[in-house]
Amino acid sequence: MHNNFTLLRVFAAVGVFFAHSSTHLYNTSSSFSALVRLFHFMPGVPVFFLISGYLIAKSYDRNPCITDYIINRMLRILPALYVCFLISLAVVFTFGYFDTVPFKEIIVWSFAQLSFIQFYNPDFLRSFGVGVLNGSLWTISVEICFYILLPVLAWQIRTASKKTFITLFILSISFLSYFYFRIIIRDFSSLSNIDKLFYVSILPYLFYFTLGMLFYYHRLYFISFVKKNCVYIFLLYLSLYLFPQSGFLFFMVQKIIFSFFVFSIAFNFVAKSRGVEKWRQLDLTYGIYIYHMLVINVFVELNFQGDIVYVLYAFGITVILAILSFYLVEKPFLFLKKRAK
C-alpha cells in the first residue's frame, strides 16, 4: 500500500536538525523560531518510533525467520552507524582530544558506540562542542532494544492478541506516567542517574512502538479510519497543540491524537507517480539523523555560531553526508537483506 512514511521520516529528521541547530548555532531570528515551531508540531523522535513500530512489525510479519530478521536489522542499522563512528574518531583525533587520553578510555567509548550503549559519553569529550559528540545516537540504543523485544511481542500477539495488547498498553502508559512525573515536569540537570538512564531506555517510548504495532496488526480498520477522518484528526490535534493543558491525562490524550495524526498523514494525500516513487527510494533519514549533531559539534568547536548562514552550511554538509551514506553504505548493504521465500 502506498504511503508517505519516507517523507514523514525525512521531515522528522530535518526537524530534529533544526531543533538542535536552534539550540546550539542560532536562535535569535523570529522567522527561524517560527520554522522550529513548525517542526515542533511534529516532533521527530516520536514520529520515528511510531513509524518504526509499524514498519518493523510489518517486516517481521512478512518474514518471521528469526535469523533473517536479525541479519536484516543489523544490515539496516550497523554499517552506516559504524562508518559514522569512524568519521567521529577522525574528527576527535583531528581536534586533538586523544592526545592525553588513556587508551583504555578510548576502547571503552568505542565499545559503547559499536554495541548498543550509544548514549554513553566519556569525560574526555565533555569539552568538545556542546559536550556530547553525537548526542542523538541514544535513540539507536532504544531502537535496538525494540528490535530485540519485537519477536517476543509478535509471538505473544499471535497467541493472545487482545490480552497482549491490553497488558502492553497498560505497561507503556505506566512507563509514560513515570516519564511525565519524574522527568518532563522537572529540570533535566536535577535528575538522578537512574532517571537519566530511564530517559534513554526503551521504557518511556514503548508507548509509541506499541501504538505503531497496533496500527499495523489492525491496519485495515485504522487506515480506513484515518483516511475518512483526517481533517477532524488534524483539527483536534491542532487544538490540543495550540491550547495545551497541564496534567498527565491531557499529556496522554495529546500523544494518542498525535499518533493518529501521524498515520493520517502517512496514508492520505499519497502521490503515486513514477517520479515520486523514485524520490521515496531516496531515504536520507538515517544519514541526516546520525550525522547532524556531529556536524553541529564541529561548528560549535570552531565557534561558527550566531548567524543563520552557519545553520544553512551545517544543514548542507549534513545532507551531503546523508547522500553519501545512503549511496555508498546503506543502499549496498540493504541489497544483502534476506527476503521472505
Per the CB < 8 A criterion, the answer to whether 44 and 13 are in contact is yes
| C-alpha distance from residue 262 to each of 217, 256, 270, 301 (Å) | 17, 10, 13, 36
Contact 283, 326 (CB under 8 A): yes
Q: Which of 263, 305, 303 shows the shortest CA–CA distance to 21?
A: 305
Amino acid at 299: F
Nearest to 92 by CA among 63, 56, 134: 134
Residue in this structure with the C-alpha cell 475518512, named with its chain if needed: 228
- If you ran DSSP here, which 8-state letter would residue 184 be given? I
pLDDT score for 196:
86
Cβ neighbors of 296 (< 8 A, separation 6 or more) are: 20, 21, 24, 25, 129, 130, 314
Ramachandran category for residue 131: left, alpha or beta (phi over 0 → left; psi -120 to 50 → alpha): left
Taking the C-alpha atoms of residue 255 and residue 252, their distance in angstroms, rounded to an integer, is 5
Q: What is the pTM of this model?
A: 0.91
Report the alpha-carbon distance of residue 320 to residue 135 in Å, rounded: 20
Three-class secondary structure of residue 244 per DSSP = coil
**Cell numbers 516519564: residue:** 179
Where exactly are the structural domains of the chain?
Answer: 5-334
Segments in 41-183 forming alpha helices (H): 44-62, 66-94, 103-114, 138-159, 161-179
DSSP state of 337: P
Q: Among candidates 106, 110, 108, which has minimal Cα distance to 84? A: 110
Q: Residue 123 class from Cβ within 10 Å (0-12 exposed, 13-18 middle, 19+ buried)?
A: exposed
Angle at 180 between CA 179 and CA 185, to 5 degrees: 120
Give residue 192's pLDDT: 84
Mean pLDDT, the chain cut into blocks of 10 residues (341 residues total): 87 93 84 80 93 93 89 93 96 92 92 89 91 92 92 74 76 91 75 87 92 90 94 96 90 94 92 59 90 97 93 97 96 82 53
* Rounded CA separation 321/233 (Å): 36
* Straight-line distance from the first to the last Cα atom of the chain, in angstroms, rounded to the nearest whole number: 20
Cα 17 from Cα 26, distance rounded (Å)? 12
Burial (0-12, 13-18, 19+ Cβ within 10 Å), 109: buried
Residue 218 identity (one-letter amino acid):
H
Q: Decide: residue 78, CB within 10 A, 0-12 exposed, 13-18 middle, 19+ buried.
A: middle
